[in-house]
Amino acid sequence: MPELQQWQVPQGKLLVRPRLPGVPVLCGWPGQKGGTHAPIRFFDPQKEVVATRHLDTVGTIDLSAKGIFDSIKSLLEKYKLPFSNLLSFTSDTCNTMKGARGGVRSKLRVEQPKIVDVYCICHLINLCVKAATKTMPLKIDEILIDIYDHFHRSVKRITSLHDYAEFCSVEFKAVSKHSVKRWLSLRHAIQRTLEMWNPLYSYFCSHPDVEKSGKVKSIYF
């Protein structure tokens, strides 16, 4: 990166943030490629202020604690930064990340005992909301997945929904996919369902299988 020299990287303090949900998504799930994103804090001599910039992203396929730790280590070595410059570590609360004996956090603390451990507040809020929604009579995430699966790869069903959208004077928008592993997709899927609520409701009310046991009846509102 051409700006590294003016950033004074060797004197900078590095903040490693693996698997931080949302901004950005830092680690994939098993079978997918993950990544470790690292912003860096440094003194900007031109503006005479302490600034924060995105330093680099290191991809990793090995999503074990050792694999993620090695990706952090390789990032530090790439920019010749010592572990003593590592300021903080942000992640969710899974054992891979926060495990007391073999987690990424414990491995980092061997190299940098003073590292600040920051829990991902977005992930904690999501866990609280999931626990709260268990009291609801309907499982929202399952309904969203069933709606998407119903229309997925069916041109006939999509065309029919498009006709209902025109009938309801609603701009047609494709049904959004919600992935359980990508929990940030829930908000977008809910928003899209609400935007298409009237066409979806009319579609399922008129579906010939609405009275039969099966997926259509379970989706019917």
Per-position DSSP letters for 148-159, written without gaps between them: HHHHTT-HHHHH
Q: Distances in Å between the alpha carbon of 181 and those of 50, 161, 203? A: 36, 27, 29
Instruction: Tell me the β-bridge partners of 90.
Output: 118
Q: Is the peptide bond before 30 cis (omega within 30 degrees of 0)?
A: no
Q: Which two tokens stand for residue 122?
A: 């977005």
pLDDT at position 21 = 24
Could you tell me if 87 and 115 are in contact, meaning their C-beta atoms sit under 8 angstroms apart? Answer: yes
Q: Which amino acid is at 195?
A: E
Query: Tokens representing 173?
Result: 């928008």
Structure tokens belonging to residue 57: 């992203």
Mean pLDDT (whole number) for 32-48: 69
pTM: 0.53
Beta carbons within 10 angstroms of residue 180's beta carbon = 11
Query: What are the CA-CA distances from residue 111 to residues 26, 72, 168, 220 (Å)?
Result: 22, 12, 62, 55
- Residue 105, pLDDT above cutoff 90: no
Which pLDDT band holds residue 104 (cuts at 50, 70, 90)?
Answer: confident
Q: Which residues pair with 58 in a beta bridge?
A: 36
Percent of the chain with pLDDT over 70: 77
Domains of the chain: 4-126 (3.30.420), 140-219 (no CATH)
Query: What is the rounded average pLDDT of the residues 190-215?
Result: 81
Residue whose C-alpha is closest to residue 16's, from 7, 5, 26, 8 = 26
Q: What is the arithmetic mean of pLDDT over 179-186?
A: 74
Categorize the per-residue pLDDT at 26 as very low, low, confident or very high, splitting at 50, 70 and 90. Answer: very low
Structure tokens at 116: 């600040």
Strands (E) in the chain, as ranges, are: 13-18, 34-44, 49-60, 86-91, 116-119
